[in-house]
Amino acid sequence: MCTLSSLPVAFQYADAFTCHAETLGRESHAEHRNGFPREHELFERPSMDDQDESPDRSTHDNPGQEPQKDPPAPTESDAPTPASNATASRSKPGPEPKVARLISEYDRELAGVGDELEVRWTNPETDASLRSLADWFNEQLLRAVLTAAGIETITEDVSHLYAVLSGETGSRGERTQLERRLERDGVAVETVTDEFVSYGAIRSYLTGYRNVTAPSGTDGPSAAATARTIEELRQRTVSVTESKLDRLQETDQLRVGPRRVFADVQVLCERCGKQYDVADLLESGACDCYES
């Protein structure tokens, strides 16, 4: 309780102000103890996080935009197709298969070779083995290299050239002579032969790169596939024979007029003594003596 009557007037005003301030302080303290908020609590505003009652903050962070929605569930039309699976397989990281790389390098000369490999392997009427497909691909590759070097492949027996370069036929001297001739024409023979693929590379390309399912087939080659293989060998025999005769004539080791070379494969049934062309026998499936 302040008493001011005994003080001078000037000090009465100063002490009255001080006394009033002390009185307000005591009252404020008493109000706080009785449950009333303090002055700074009355003017304290909630933060923006406290005011935002929406669980989706994307609307608050981006005013004027609709809240983000979950992506729609995939439909049947979005399901991957075999073609998309093949495309996805071809885009896998890692080194490109050797066969695919060669087809890309000689994209003009080897256009369609990949599709042809797939058809030859999966078509029941073709029924080609992986080894025969590897030989066929290597011949196409050699043809592409010769074409790129400006060598006329019409006058060259590519099958015979491949057989010599791969060591399937011919002597070492003949191979050396062929390599020198091709190198003079601008062909890097060693590089080409190193690029020849194996049947394993063909399998990896077809199954791993093109997603082709291996044909079920039978345990062994079919009669149709065997007939084709024999026919290819017959044609190669004719071609190699003609090439050998030409070389002998060029070196004056053989003198003969206009000629033609024939090769025939016959099968003799020793049970009945009947003879067949191998293609006819394979087509019929049995000798006449087994049908009677």
Alpha helices (H) in 34-153, listed in sequence order: 39-42, 48-51, 58-61, 82-90, 98-105, 113-122, 130-148
Please give the sequence-ordered ranges of beta strands (E in DSSP) within the chain, or none if there are none: 266-268, 275-277
**Any bridge partners for residue 233, and if so which?**
none
Considering the domain architecture, whether residues 233 and 159 belong to the same structural domain is answered as no
175 found inside a domain: yes
Contact 259, 237 (CB under 8 A): no
Considering the domain architecture, whether residues 203 and 230 belong to the same structural domain is answered as no
73 found inside a domain: no
Considering the domain architecture, whether residues 132 and 189 belong to the same structural domain is answered as yes
Domain boundary (167, 192, 217) is at 217
Considering the domain architecture, whether residues 251 and 263 belong to the same structural domain is answered as yes
Report, as an integer, the average pLDDT of 58-71: 50
Considering the domain architecture, whether residues 160 and 207 belong to the same structural domain is answered as yes
| Half-sphere exposure of residue 139: CA atoms within 13 angstroms, side-chain side | 19
Domain count of the chain? 3
Considering the domain architecture, whether residues 211 and 168 belong to the same structural domain is answered as yes
What is the model's pLDDT at position 64? 52
Considering the domain architecture, whether residues 130 and 191 belong to the same structural domain is answered as yes
Considering the domain architecture, whether residues 157 and 200 belong to the same structural domain is answered as yes
Pairwise CA distance, residues 214 & 84, whole Å:
19
Q: What is the mean pLDDT of the chain?
A: 75
What is the model's pLDDT at position 224? 77
CB atoms within 10 A of CB 282: 18
What is the model's pLDDT at position 160? 87
Pairwise CA distance, residues 147 & 73, whole Å:
53
3 found inside a domain: yes
Q: What are phi and psi of 286, to 5 degrees?
A: -165, 155
* Residues of the chain above pLDDT 90, percent: 33
- Residue 75 scores a pLDDT above 90: no
Considering the domain architecture, whether residues 211 and 229 belong to the same structural domain is answered as no
87 found inside a domain: no
Closest to 91 (Cα-Cα) out of 198, 211, 214: 211
- Model confidence pLDDT, tens digit, residues 215-229: 765 455 677 778 888
Q: State how far Cα 179 lies from the chain centre.
A: 34
Provide the domain limits for residue 13.
1-33
Considering the domain architecture, whether residues 8 and 117 belong to the same structural domain is answered as no
Confidence of residue 114 (pLDDT cuts 50, 70, 90): very high
Considering the domain architecture, whether residues 108 and 203 belong to the same structural domain is answered as yes
40 found inside a domain: no
Q: Rounded to the nearest 5 degrees, what angle is found at the Cα of 195, between the Cα atoms of 194 and 197?
A: 110
- Residue 157 scores a pLDDT above 90: no
292 found inside a domain: no
Higher pLDDT, 55 or 151: 151
Higher pLDDT, 13 or 208: 208
Spatial neighbors of 66 by CB under 8 A, at least 6 apart, are 59
- Residue 84 scores a pLDDT above 60: no
247 found inside a domain: yes
Higher pLDDT, 43 or 109: 109
42 found inside a domain: no
Pairwise CA distance, residues 136 & 226, whole Å:
16
What is the model's pLDDT at position 113? 95
Considering the domain architecture, whether residues 262 and 207 belong to the same structural domain is answered as no
What is the model's pLDDT at position 68? 53
